[in-house]
Amino acid sequence: MLENLVSGLAFALSMDALIYCAIGVTLGTFIGMLPGIGPMAAIAMLVPLTYYVDPAVGIIMLAGIYYGAAYGGSTASILLNLPGTANTAITCLDGYPMTQQGRAGIALFMTTIASFFGSICGLVILVGFAPSLSTAVLAFGSPEYFSLVLLGLLASALAATDYPLRAVAMIVLGLLLGSVGADQNTGITRFTFDSPYLYDGFTLVAFAVGLFGIPEIISNVRTPPSRTGAKSIRLSAMLPTREDWRRSWLPMIRGTSIGAVLGALPGTGGTLATILSYSTEKRVSRRPEEFGYGAIEGVTGPESANNAAIQTAFIPTLTLGIPGDAVMALIVATLMIHGIQPGPLLVSQHPTVFWGLAASFLVGNVLLLILNIPLIGLWIRILSIPYKYLFPAIIVFVCIGAFSINTSPFDIYMVSFFGALGYGLRLLRCPPAPLLMGLILGPMLEVHLRRALQIANGDPLVFVERPISAAFLMVCVALIAAAIFRRRKPGPAFREAKA
Amino acid sequence: MKSTVSRNSPDEGEEEARGATNFARMENAILGLFLGLVGAGAIAEGLSLPVGSAMRMGPGYFPILIGGVLVVLGLAITLLPTRHVAAAWERADLARGAVDVLAVILAVTSFGFLVERLGLIASIVVAVFISTAPIPAMSLLERFVLAICLAVGSYLIFVYALGVSMPGFTFNW
């Protein structure tokens, strides 16, 4: 394993990988800071770029956007009180009050340290568990996979949503959209309206950019220029006191543990981990009254949790091929576009992808440390670019990206179509992430449903007779029951709009 | 469209609250109808294909199954008592929102229409002008400079550096 890690590190430090990793984390930080556009849309926009490089390098870049956005998102939360991503919403609660007290530099510094700590611990867990989990998962058959996909879909849709019924409806709609194109067994086309363009189904990038990017652009067209709480931050103002350190290290460890566990479970991910970490810190604190007024524990705990969760989220994504959230789903889909099937065989068949990616996390997090502490002043200046210059640029990149996939204008029209659909669904309070999850996992769900029933002579009881499959289904039932009983309470303040 | 975010403040008038609940019901009905129609369409398409049996599924089986679930969910969303309240969209917001939607969607569509007919540079200029149309505080010069910068920058990055095959200038109408 050690030699694998070394060869992975050698790959991650090769010129190409290093450059694309740097592009990924820088862009991620930038995107994460902009409240207008989330990592989801940014990754979708850059998937076409991966066609021009080695797939492992491409994935390194996409992953870099994802965890880079987590760092950038917390900067926006602390300085602007505007969460750049849903996962960093909770950082606003105590991060922004710290800015108001003139302690922005310390908040940013400790956030970066906490994020780094969480990421590295998450990475160690990823490297430690993923290969052995792969071996265990090899025993899974179609019934297990069907139930696991179902669980992944339900868990990701029902975690932290205000509208469980709508989220489930979006999964189902996504499953339907995923069945567009030639049937995998017979080659008979479905829902193609005799158009050759739809033979392979919807172009994933056009779909994802339309669904996530376009509605975000539309609702931010008139965003006024943002104003930061701190004009400039000198490095000397960033150094935390011994008291800050003393109060932060335990929350960081607790947050990391919470994040690492939740991240590895399919479907829960970072948002839930940050909420749980924050409430834990508030409960165990000797000074709960300080929370909401600039308690540093309320920043460092959730930030560690978020970043640990992002790293461990790669465990189910890479070893099972079951993504935990929409971003991971897009990474799975990108791997498949490049002919790499995420699943139990990934680690042994594509060691460069797995070990190179894992090692790139280390490289990327070190780069982020540099980007976020010495270079923070640069970012603060970038934050003040008016959106009216940014969004036409984003539109142009979206168009070029969509066009370059098949060099066909049809994909650009598809962006328009799904953009309009996505905006309409957003107005009707439907979360877009489950729709994408359904689209990507739909074909997998259908294949395993067909295969499982074929082997079992059409007897649906096969799903509950196999113990592992039955356990997954029981969790599904529990999730649905929990969602029904939660209906009575008023909705939580955290929505997945920016997911 | 900030007004579509649900409000729960207790000091809103009772009548307004009732209107809001009605509006939320209408939202549910629109969504339910949409889902129901899509589900029904899926069932119709599925029935036109070989359906097969549970043991040996044809291409029509899965769409019928999913379509059925979608119809049930559409009904549930329409008929179940609603929990959220929604403030009705204000007319000014609606008009402004519609302009923004049109500008962005048209900008994307125009790019798709023009890129093979006039080339990358012209398509970008048109897309920038259409997309910035809703912003009042932007001078013609500002828009023009932005458009030219983006056009030249994109050409250098995508065509020159990355080798995406698309023409800078062309004319095949």
pLDDT at A18: 93
Amino acid at B1: M
Judge contact between A88 and A103, C-beta under 8 A. no
- Residues of A within 8 A of B104 (CB-CB) are 214, 217-218, 221, 395, 419
Res A293 pLDDT > 60: yes
- Block residue for tokens 């067209």: A221
Res B3 pLDDT > 50: no
Per-residue model confidence as pLDDT tens digits over A332-342 = 888 988 888 88
pLDDT at A227: 57
- Which has more pLDDT, A87 or A91? A91
Among all residues of chain B, which has the CA nearest to that of A419? B105
Res A177 pLDDT > 60: yes
B11 to chain A, closest Cα gap in Å: 17
Distance between CA A391 and CA A34 in Å, rounded? 11
Judge contact between A16 and A59, C-beta under 8 A. no
- Block residue for tokens 């659909």: A421
- Block residue for tokens 């108001």: A100
Question: Hey, of A149, A176, A209, A407, which one would you mutate to test binding to chain B, going by the most B CBs within 10 A of its CB?
Answer: A176
Within 8 A by CB and 6+ apart from A249, the residues are: none
The least confident of A214-228, B8-22, B157-171 is B8-22
Secondary structure (3-state) at B80: coil
Q: What is the mean pLDDT of chain A?
A: 85
Are B63 and A397 inside 8 Å of each other by CB? no
- The rounded Cα B98 to chain-centroid distance in angstroms is 11
Res A153 pLDDT > 80: yes
Secondary structure (3-state) at A182: strand
The least confident of A297-311, A317-331, B37-51, B147-161 is A317-331
Are A214 and B113 inside 8 Å of each other by CB? no
pLDDT at B7: 45
pLDDT at A254: 94
Per-residue model confidence as pLDDT tens digits over A257-271 = 999 988 887 766 677
Are B127 and A52 inside 8 Å of each other by CB? no
Tokens encoding A402: 């969509």
Distance between CA B59 and CA B49 in Å, rounded? 6
Distance between CA A496 and CA A480 in Å, rounded? 19
Q: pLDDT > 90: what percent of chain A?
A: 27
Number of CB pairs < 8 Å for A and B?
A: 183
Distance between CA A149 and CA A475 in Å, rounded? 12
Distance between CA A90 and CA A100 in Å, rounded? 16
Prediction ipTM score: 0.87
Within 8 A by CB and 6+ apart from A461, the residues are: none
Q: pLDDT > 70: what percent of chain B?
A: 84
Judge contact between A240 and A106, C-beta under 8 A. yes
Neighbours of A46 (CB within 10 A): 23
Per-residue model confidence as pLDDT tens digits over A340-356 = 888 888 888 888 889 99
Tokens encoding A430: 């439907």
Model confidence, pTM: 0.83
Are B70 and A172 inside 8 Å of each other by CB? yes
Q: What number is the average pLDDT over the span A306-313?
A: 90
Distance between CA A334 and CA A329 in Å, rounded? 9
pLDDT band at B128 (very low <50, low <70, confident <90, very high): very high
pLDDT at A377: 81
pLDDT at A42: 81
pLDDT band at B112 (very low <50, low <70, confident <90, very high): very high
Pick from A165, A217, A407: CB nearest B104: A217
Q: How many CA atoms lie within 13 A of A245 on its CB side?
A: 5
Per-residue model confidence as pLDDT tens digits over A229-249 = 555 666 677 888 888 899 999
pLDDT band at A423 (very low <50, low <70, confident <90, very high): very high
Residue A189 φ then ψ, to 5°: -85, 145
Biggest distance spanned by C-alpha atoms of chain A:
71
Q: What number is the average pLDDT over the span A390-398?
A: 87
Distance between CA A210 and CA A327 in Å, rounded? 15
Judge contact between B82 and B25, C-beta under 8 A. yes
Task: Output the CA–CA distances (angstroms, integers) from residue A58 to A47, A357, A493, in the order listed.
Answer: 8, 10, 35
DSSP state of B90: P
Question: Hey, of A27, A161, A399, which one would you mutate to test binding to chain B, going by the most B CBs within 10 A of its CB?
Answer: A399
Res B15 pLDDT > 90: no
Per-residue model confidence as pLDDT tens digits over A90-149 = 888 898 888 888 888 889 899 999 999 999 999 999 988 888 888 877 888 899 989 988
Are B31 and A457 inside 8 Å of each other by CB? no
Res B95 pLDDT > 90: no
Residue ranges of alpha helices (H) inside A138-195 are: 142-158, 164-178
Q: What number is the average pLDDT over the span A172-183?
A: 92
